[in-house]
Copies of this chain bind each other. A is one copy, B any other.
Amino acid sequence: MLDAFDRKILGALVEDAGLSYARIGERAGLSAPAVFERVKRLRSAGVIESVTARLDGESVGKPLLAFVHVDTTGWGKSERLMRMGEFPEVEEMHSVAGDTGMILKVRTQGPQALEHLLLQLYVIPGVTASRSYVVLSTYLDRPVQADVTLDWPKHPLPKE
């Protein structure tokens, strides 16, 4: 589905979407219009979902990052729970397999704002518990990368 040209173009755009098509073309071995055509195709195919500015949480007034595990009775995707996404502080919501049902990534002004968010959570019918993991340091935070580690063992049988 994606050839080597596409991978190089995507790699460049993830690194810096402000690069000119000509410059990306140098990196990928294509002319600017060729890059343009491929980017247009990758966009409409949904490979590129969007092009956005990444902001510094602290600078925009949200220095506190936390992952919140939410336990629910029944199954997770309630109307009320989904509405937590209306808070700009909530960046991610995933249902997961494991000892919790839902993981939220939230970025808030501080502990009080987090508490308010948790209060909103406990008002929702079916929410039985939550565990918050407050981030102390972020060592890595980057977008989906275009490349993949190639040489995974096909059948990684652990040696005894």
Chain A interface (Cβ within 8 Å of chain B)?
A: 1-2, 10, 13-18, 45-57, 59-62, 65, 67, 77, 82, 85, 87-100, 103, 107, 109, 112-113, 115-116, 119, 131-149, 152-156, 158
Contact = CB atoms under 8 A, between A and B. Distances in A.
A115 to B, nearest CB: 6
Contact of A145 (B10, B88, B131, B139): B88
Nearest to A13: B53
B89 A148 contact: yes
B55 A10 contact: yes
A149 to B, nearest CB: 6
A82 B95 CA distance: 27
Contacts of A139: 77, 82, 85, 93-95
Contacts of A146: 55, 60, 88
B152 A97 contact: no
Contacts of A45: 59
A147 B66 CA distance: 17
Contacts of A62: 144, 148
